[in-house]
Amino acid sequence: MSQPRIAAVILAAGKGTRLKSDRPKVLHEICGRPMLAYVLDACRAAGVADAIVVVGHGKDEVIAAFADDPAITWVEQNPQRGTGHAVMVCREHLPKYEHLLVLCGDGPLIREETIRALLDRHITGGLAATLATAVLDDPTGYGRIWRDADGRLRAIVEHADATPEQRQIREVNPSYYCFRTAEFLPLLDRLQPNNAKNEYYITDALALLIAAGRPVEAITSVRPEDIYSINSRQELALVNRVMRDRVLDRHMTAGVTIVDPASTWIDARATIGRDTIIQPFVTISGPVRIGEHCRIGPFVHLAGGAVVAHHATVPPFTGGRV
């Protein structure tokens, strides 16, 4: 049986006002790479090759940053009138796909396995729509997943609209959606901007499907530490710390010794061979390549296209491209 055609619609039009930056939000870097790159990578690792990226603020700069990626279709959203409107402007590109994965471009901590679990449940369950959820100790500010007594999804209730009882719900919506295209597209004409922001919300499409008795499920598959999006410099720093730990863990799992992870920073694009030892206070910036059985540092900064051969030692206080 052939695989169904799936496209990822990635919402990346936001300005990120609270970042107070001239740079488009999705180009701010996490461990050396634009945050949008991580979302694209997770989709492709999960088998979703085609991406429709919705851009707005700084669109030319965003498109230029990914100019060597032929699998992206760029769509402009101007003005930006909400998540539902972002999908509306993509309408002409969507009918050839059986399913649509809708994600936000400012959530770089998304994992391949989360997308796979979402798609698997959606497709094998024959569902009209599926969303992935997370359970948080402090759900303040997030839309709550309101279920009935049998655990079926009743609605997504925004924090501001939730009753005191609903605010006790710890299961939240981190905005990972999958829709059956044939059922989803007709709903776009029924979305209404009946809210304080006068915007069209994609969550209203879920409400319409539920009201019509169509099969919609919410699966609790997102780790709490994965749902951080980035709306401020403080959140940018937080996500960088989380991603740094992931990068270090990946290298250590592959056989690299990192003597003091707390004092070590490694770019996500760097490659390091097994049995290499990274001493404290080492910074590796850019697509640096380090061979096997090397000793780096301490107090070394490798940058750009630096290449360290197998069995080499980089002495303390070395800097640059070696």
Cis peptide preceding 298, ω within 30 of 0: yes
Q: Which residues, 6 or more positions from 124, have their beta carbon under 8 angstroms from its beta carbon?
A: none
**Burial level of 96, CB count in 10 A (0-12/13-18/19+)?**
exposed
Extract the tokens encoding 257.
């010794």
SS3 136: coil
Q: What is the 3-state secondary structure (H, E, C) of 280-291?
A: CCCEEECCCEEC
What's CA 69's distance to the chain center, in Å? Answer: 18
Catalytic status, residue 223: no
Specify the DSSP class assigned to residue 109: T
Catalytic-labelled residue, pool 5, 18, 152, 223 = 18
Q: Return the residue matching tokens 């919506």.
A: 173
Handedness of CA 306, 67, 98, 38 (dihedral sign): positive
Extract the tokens encoding 82.
């909400």
SS3 9: strand
**Catalytic residue positions, numbered:** 18
